[in-house]
Amino acid sequence: MNIADISKQRYTTKHYDKTRTIPPEQLAQLFEVIRNSPSSVNSQPWHFFVVDNDTAREKIMPAILELNHPRVADASHTLIFCAKKPLDEKHLQQVLAQEEKDGRFGEGEVKEMMDKGRHFFVNKNSSTPQSQLEWESKQLYIVLGQLLFAATAVGIDSTAIEGFDDQKMDEILGLPQQGLKSVLVVCLGYRAAHDSNASRPKSRLPEQEIFTHL
């Protein structure tokens, strides 16, 4: 299967088969895809909550818009994508230390240069708390793209959900106290036999409408 075929197969799942659970080995692969996702200057400004049982589903459901309740109720797993708020010096130093541990720095001034470069771009996008959050959210949407594609590649269906009350979610999970802000919800699992969206053909603008070759 080529990557274009994978992209054609992916769609937004509306109804999940609650009886099916993602195998641990495939879930581990998806988590690794999330970990390996790119971010600006390797800032990794994120944290992810995993919902995989009915107690947890009931806990977050008040923050999910009613139209999305079936997705969260029946999906094998639901992930809550969160951004660091604020993206502070402690986190930046943690990233730097991990880079050093993983052998990203050789001899010379590479470590100092990487640290200065990261601070430059973080500061550039942090003129206000809101601008920082918007920049971090862009990094989370990069993760989303990686995850949706990877899930389809291994036969797992998905739904990206913006239809939730972020303030309510923050309150339920105590995110302000953890220095986090909810940005996005993603359901993962297997489509139900009656999922209405599965049979709809994919509709996209033609290539000549969206590409200009210079």
Give pLDDT tens digits along the chain (214 positions).
Answer: 799 999 999 999 999 999 999 999 999 999 999 999 999 999 999 999 999 999 999 999 999 999 999 999 999 999 999 999 999 999 999 999 999 999 999 877 899 999 999 999 999 999 999 999 999 999 999 999 999 999 999 999 999 999 999 999 999 999 999 999 999 999 999 999 999 899 999 999 999 999 999 9
62, two tokens: 């008040």
Q: Where are the domains of the chain?
A: 3-81+140-199
In which order are the strands placed within the sheet that holds 180-189? Answer: 46-51, 77-84, 180-189, 157-161
120, two tokens: 């430059």
Question: Which DSSP helix (H) or strand (E) runs through 169?
Answer: helix 166-173
Question: Which DSSP helix (H) or strand (E) runs through 191?
Answer: none
In sequence order, which residues have a C-beta less than 8 Å from that of residue 167 and are 6 or more positions away? none
> pLDDT at position 104, please?
92
- Other beta carbons within 10 angstroms of residue 85's beta carbon come to 20
> pLDDT at position 129, please?
96
Give the Cα separation of 70 and 16 in Å (integer): 8
CATH superfamily of 3-81+140-199: NADH Oxidase (3.40.109.10)
